[in-house]
């Protein structure tokens, strides 16, 4: 898993990492020169003359201006390359919620559209264009190894893009303070080969399989007859809530609750029973007293089967 602006996985982050390297070298040089000047000023044998001072300050100031000019030119050129959005590429809409990410793979046919949460799967070598919106407060989309930040501001639609060149999992986290669980609002971009992407995408478009055993069947029944369905959507069932993440293929995800827990049946059951124990302030209510242990295990088993 990668999460470092100096371990880029795509062209945008690579350009900035190269520029960052340049900034490090220049900054270190400037810092070194200032410190050398300071030490020399402290230990020189005889006090410097008025003319010496004037020359020194003039030289240092011109060097500063020259360095800043080079910086500015390089910066604007990096800004031009990274700022230009591609005209082709898959179009995604990302909607920020307190404290998770809703992701839509847009398609001109509504039935082909894929809705998922917190994890974005993309093909390598292809630009991905994003439309960013917020459902509540300001969030910020950031995947360090792929691209810099873009804020999700209510009332505004921001556009941005990224591209992954190396297959792998890239982690990111909400970068604008958004409330209690700003710390647990992670995002994963999984870059895969174009072929794997196509098969993943087909899988996501398909209606999830029906429960394969009695426990799972019970899970579905509980899901539909208790409060779960008011907030969550599962394709092919009457559950069509939109307040929480779409669970149609939740079993195929790596993590639960925006990177908070590994996606295992035990964690899933624990999460359903008491989200607050893992993520205080999560909008999902606790189910102590409303669901029995067995019901929770059944729902977890059912959800794990949704791949």
Partner 1 sequence: MSAALAPIPLETETITRERDALQRTWASEPGLLGWLREVNHVSIGKRYVITAFVFLLLGGLEAGVMRLQLSRPENRILNPDSYNQFFTVHGSTMMFLFAVPVMLGMGIWLVPMMIGTRNVSFPRLNAFGYYTYLFGGIVLYGAFLFNTGPDAGWFAYPPLSTAFTPGKRTDFWAQMITFTEIAALAASITLIATIFKQRAPGMTLNRIPLFVWSILVISFMVLFAMPTVAVASIFLALDRLISTHFFNAAEGGDPLLWQHMFWFFGHPEVYIIFIPGLGFVSHIVATFTRRPVFGYPMMVLSLVATAFMGFALWVHHMFATPLPQLGQSFFTAASTVIAIPTGVQIFCWIATIAAGRPRYATPFLFVLGFFIVFTIGGLTGVMVASVPFDLQVHDTYFVVAHFHYVLIGGALFPLLGAIYYWFPKFSGRLMSETLGKWHFWLLLIGVNVTFFPMHLLGYMGMPRRVYTYLPETGWGPLNSLASAGAGIIVVAMLIFAWNVFSSWRNGDVAGPNPWGADTLEWATESPPAPYNFAHIPVVQSPAPLWEASGTMPVVTGMRTDVREVLISSVMDAHPCGKHEHPGPSIWPFLTSVCVALYFVPVIFTPWGAVLGTVAVLAGAAGWGLPHATSSKPLPAPGSMYKDEPLTPEAAR
Partner 2 sequence: MTPVMDTELVPPPQRLVSAFDASGIEEKYFGTDSVSWWGTVGFMVIEGFTLILCMGAYFYLRKNELGWPPERTPLPDLVVPTISLATLLLKLVPISMAARKARRWDGDGVRRWLAITLAWNLVNLGMRIAEFGALRVRWDTNAYGSIVWATLFDHAYLILFDLFETAGIALVFFRHQETHRDFGAVDDDAMYTWFLVLAFIPVYVMLYWFPRWT
Candidate list 42, 51, 155, 238; residue touching partner 2; CB under 8 A: 155
Is residue 16 at the binding interface for partner 1, with CB under 8 A as the rule? yes
Q: Which of 126, 178, 168 is nearest to 143 (CA)?
A: 168
Number of helices followed by number of strands (H, E) in the chain = 8, 12
Binders in 87-116 for partner 1, by CB under 8 A: 98
Between 155 and 238, name the residue whose CB sits nearer to partner 2: 155
109-117's contacts with Cβ under 8 Å and 24+ in sequence apart are 112/205, 114/201, 114/204, 114/205, 115/233, 115/246, 115/248, 116/204, 116/245, 116/246, 116/249, 116/253, 117/245, 117/246, 117/253, 117/258
Is residue 148 at the binding interface for partner 1, with CB under 8 A as the rule? yes
Between 110 and 155, name the residue whose CB sits nearer to partner 2: 155
Concatenated DSSP letters for 235-253? TTSS-B--SS---TTGGG-
Which pair of tokens denotes residue 109? Answer: 């046919």
Binding mask 22-41 for partner 1 (x = CB under 8 A): -x---x--xx--xx-xx-xx
Candidate list 66, 86, 112, 154; residue touching partner 1; CB under 8 A: 154
Candidate list 43, 50, 110, 195; residue touching partner 2; CB under 8 A: 50
Is residue 61 at the binding interface for partner 1, with CB under 8 A as the rule? yes
In the list partner 1, partner 2, none, the entry touching 137 (Cβ below 5 to 8 angstroms by class) is: partner 1
In the list partner 2, partner 1, none, the entry touching 225 (Cβ below 5 to 8 angstroms by class) is: none
Radius of gyration of the CA atoms of the chain, in A:
26
The site for partner 2 (CB under 8 A) is made up of 47, 50, 155
């Amino acid at each position: 898993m990668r999460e470092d602006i100096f371990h880029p996985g795509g062209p945008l982050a690579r350009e900035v990492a190269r520029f960052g390297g340049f900034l490090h070298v220049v900054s270190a040089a400037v810092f070194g020169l200032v410190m050398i000047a300071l030490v020399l000023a402290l230990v020189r044998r005889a006090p410097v003359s008025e003319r010496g001072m004037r020359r020194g300050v003039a030289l240092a100031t011109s060097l500063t201006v020259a360095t800043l000019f080079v910086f500015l030119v390089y910066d604007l050129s990096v800004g031009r390359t990274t700022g230009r959005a591609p005209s082709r590429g898959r179009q995604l809409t990302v909607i920020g919620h307190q404290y998770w990410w809703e992701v839509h793979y847009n398609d001109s046919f509504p039935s082909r559209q894929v809705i998922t949460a917190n994890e974005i799967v993309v093909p390598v070598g292809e630009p991905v264009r994003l439309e960013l919106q917020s459902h509540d407060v300001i969030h910020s989309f950031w995947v360090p190894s792929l691209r810099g930040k873009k804020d999700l501001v209510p009332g505004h639609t921001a556009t941005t893009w990224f591209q992954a060149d190396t297959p792998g999992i890239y982690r990111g986290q909400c970068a604008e303070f958004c409330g209690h669980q700003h710390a647990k609002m992670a995002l994963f971009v999984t870059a895969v080969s174009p072929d794997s992407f196509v098969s993943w995408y087909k899988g996501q478009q398909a209606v999830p399989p029906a429960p394969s055993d009695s426990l799972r069947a019970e899970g579905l029944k509980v899901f539909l007859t208790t409060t779960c369905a008011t907030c969550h959507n599962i394709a092919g069932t009457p559950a069509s809530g939109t307040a929480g993440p779409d669970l149609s293929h939740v079993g195929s995800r790596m993590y639960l609750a925006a990177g908070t827990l590994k996606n295992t049946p035990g964690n899933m059951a624990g999460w359903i029973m008491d989200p607050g124990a893992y993520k205080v302030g999560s909008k999902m209510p606790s189910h102590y007293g409303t669901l029995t242990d067995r019901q929770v295990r059944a729902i977890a088993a059912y959800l794990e089967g949704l791949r």
